[in-house]
Amino acid sequence: MLTLAPDLLQLLTKFSVGPPNKIQQHASPFLLRGADIIVQAPPTQERVAAYVIPAI
């Protein structure tokens, strides 16, 4: 499971972003380490969040 800082979790809750889905759980740790990745998923808010959350 992906562990996020409490401040980030509060922001995500504030903006009604749900818990990370399967692709976010797999992609986010790599992004948080600064790795380049390629993922494929349907165009949804969750896919966008997989890229935005590490940038925040």
Q: Match 């692709």 to its residue by tokens.
A: 23
Q: What is the pTM of this model?
A: 0.46
Characterize 19-44 residue by residue with b for buried, 16 or more Cβ atoms within 10 angstroms of its Cβ, and e for exposed: ebbebbeebbeebeeeeeeeeeeeee
User: Is residue 1 assigned to a domain?
Assistant: no
Structural domain span for residue 40: 6-55
User: In this predicted structure, what is the pLDDT of residue 26?
Assistant: 84
User: Is residue 23 assigned to a domain?
Assistant: yes
Residue 13 CA to residue 42 CA, distance in Å, equals: 23
Total tally of structural domains belonging to the chain: 1
**1-55 pLDDT, tens digit each:** 567 788 887 887 887 777 777 887 888 888 888 999 888 777 666 667 777 777 7
User: In this predicted structure, what is the pLDDT of residue 6?
Assistant: 85
3 phi, psi to nearest 5 deg: -105, 125
